[in-house]
Amino acid sequence: MHQIQRLGAHRGIARGKRQTAARRPARIESSSGRARKLMPEPGNGERRPWPPGAVFEFLVRQTLPHLLGGDAIDLTDTIGDDGVDISIRDTDGRVSLIEVKYPTPSTGARLDHVKRHLSAAAKNYARQNLDAPRPRLILVVPGTLSNDHTEYLRESGIEVVDGPALRTVEAPVPNMAWPDWIEQSHRPETASFESGVAAGLAEIAPGRTHWSRYQRFVTDTLSRALCPPLDTPLTEFSNTSGINRRDIIFRNYAESGFWSFLRNHYEAHYIVVDAKNYQDGIEKNDVLQVANYLSPHGAGLFGMIVTREGQKQSSELTRMEQWVGHRKMILVLTDSDLIQMANLAEGPESASDLIRQKIEDFRLGF
């Protein structure tokens, strides 16, 4: 996303006033200083629909000055292009450095990316403004993050403005309602799917003693998060020879959407899941075990390992080797991933979004 709005743009919103129903297209300044059309204002006859990411960026730019009580400013020459999409100076003179992300980042790799970029921007700002207060660091997302992910960012000094917070501004643009895919409200802490998954995981101690209980819990959690479009899973299912016994197998008969894409492009006819209640990260042999379950004439070439503490370097390298050499896509999910999937499953986004992001992170990491 492009780096920032000029000082004074949308001052009516910043001061809590409604904009007039002007028909001029909204404009922003790119880091090169050239104005470009971001999105038409309502009613100007534009026919071509804009993708959700562009719509979200447009609405955020209209909303944040009002929400934070300040004016948008241009810091391109001060901090460079370090992941800051918007900068706002509030009435007390403090600057907020803001990164806008669509869709909601749901994987650890994407949260780490946000943290690195905002931290780099803050350091650059501090070097150029020695006497200025430390800037606020803010991530803006259309959905909600799990409590686990929110706390992870908070520990690094990063605040989260999510969909429900944005919706407190009722009319960011005249005659334009908030899209349905922006989260409407936070769910009750004690009654949510997310809180149930977090509590359930906390009750299961890692280790061999509770492997069966953990496997059942993973089965129940993924079933609720992914079915439908996936069919109810088979458990403890062996092949004809009885040599290979797969913990969990989800049947993929989706006729459209993400899972249909996975079946057609990744041979994900069945989703093979192995649950590992380890105290440490999984290793090379754990990946090879799942890879042995996968074949183009059998279950297909898509599998997942669900474990407590992620993976060691040996397993990551083996996953790469299996993809490059045999086209077998094997993902690794952790406790935090299960909690975030539960969070996504209850909102306008999909738990499958985390799976999609995991694949993207893996492939773009080459």
Residue 357 domain flag: yes
Residue 217 domain flag: yes
Residue 2 domain flag: no
Which domain range does residue 312 map to? 193-364
Q: Assess whether 42 and 132 both reside in one domain.
A: yes
Q: Assess whether 217 and 359 both reside in one domain.
A: yes
For β-strands 95-100 and 136-140, DSSP reports them as parallel
Q: For residues 31 and 79, give the distance between their C-alpha atoms in angstroms, rounded to a whole number.
A: 11
Which residue, 166, 185, 216, sits at the end of a domain?
166
Tokens of 90: 């509030």
Tokens of 185: 């409200």
- The three-point CA angle 33-35-36 to 5° equals 135
Q: Assess whether 204 and 159 both reside in one domain.
A: no
Q: Assess whether 219 and 358 both reside in one domain.
A: yes
User: Is a pLDDT exceeding 70 seen at residue 261?
Assistant: yes
Residue 185 domain flag: no
Q: Assess whether 146 and 233 both reside in one domain.
A: no
Strand, coil or helix: 58: helix
Region 28-38: mean pLDDT is 34
Query: Phi and psi at residue 216, in whole multiples of 5°?
Result: -65, -40
Residue 179 domain flag: no
Q: Specify the range with the lowest mean pLDDT, choosing from 36-40, 234-238, 240-244.
A: 36-40
Q: Assess whether 58 and 134 both reside in one domain.
A: yes
For the chain, give the percent of residues with pLDDT over 90.
54
CATH number (domain holding residue 262):
3.40.91.30
Give the amino acid at 97: L
Strand, coil or helix: 206: coil
pLDDT at 278: 93
Q: What is the largest CA-CA distance in the chain?
A: 73
302-317 pLDDT, tens digit each? 999 999 988 999 999 9
Handedness of CA 184, 186, 191, 196 (dihedral sign): positive
Task: Find out whether the peptide bond into 105 is cis, omega within 30 degrees of 0.
Answer: no
Band (pLDDT 50/70/90 cuts) for residue 28 is very low
